[in-house]
Amino acid sequence: MAHMMTTPKETQAEQKASMSRPSLIDRLPKRALAVVAPVMAGGFMLASPAIAPAQTAAQSEVLPGYWEYTTSAVGQRDTEQKCVRPSEINRFFGGLSTNKWRCTYPTRAVGNGNARFEGTCQDRKGRRIAVRLNGTYTETSFSFRGGAQIVRGTPYIPASITARRISAQCPANAEYF
């Protein structure tokens, strides 16, 4: 019975080959990463969801006021503070409307302190990403975890957003939502 032996040179070559295999992030098109990284880091998770027609400002799950929110994705973290008026609270809680991305969430389950959103975001050039997030909320805070899927069939890239109401009144120099 012949026994195959590997030489140190073959072992080194195998190790080098296995180390040079690209990770999922490396295999994604660079253009896709260029699109999704800023979106996720900048707050795609707050992108504008379709709000159910029956939901009104009077039925809001969170209170207006001065809020701080932190988004985290692809190793980037961003914290902002905004003043949210009563007329904007549903848009704030349901999602930050951006100039770049429009999102719809056909799945939007919000109630009893829990929220789940699933949908898609599309930019002006027609590029789409699938988005999922879920978490908990109170009148003065929320925390969502989820992610974005750049290419169908690939894993979701993890991301999160946490927010807390700093005060009922906004400072004079506050940036408005």
* 54 found inside a domain: no
For the chain, how many structural domains are there in total? 1
Span 159-174, pLDDT tens digits: 888 999 999 999 999 9
102: in domain: yes
| 112 located within any domain | yes
Q: Is the dihedral of CA 105, 166, 78, 173 positive or negative?
A: positive
Does 14 reside within a domain?
A: no
Q: 151 lies in which domain range?
A: 28-49+59-167
Dist CA 96 CA 88 (whole Å): 10
Model-level pTM greater than 0.85?
A: no
Residue 174 falls inside a structural domain: no
Q: What does the pLDDT look like over 110-157, one tens digit per residue? A: 899 999 989 888 888 998 888 898 999 999 999 999 998 888 899 999
Q: Residue 100 falls within a domain, yes or no?
A: yes
Model confidence band, residue 25 (pLDDT cutoffs 50, 70, 90): very low
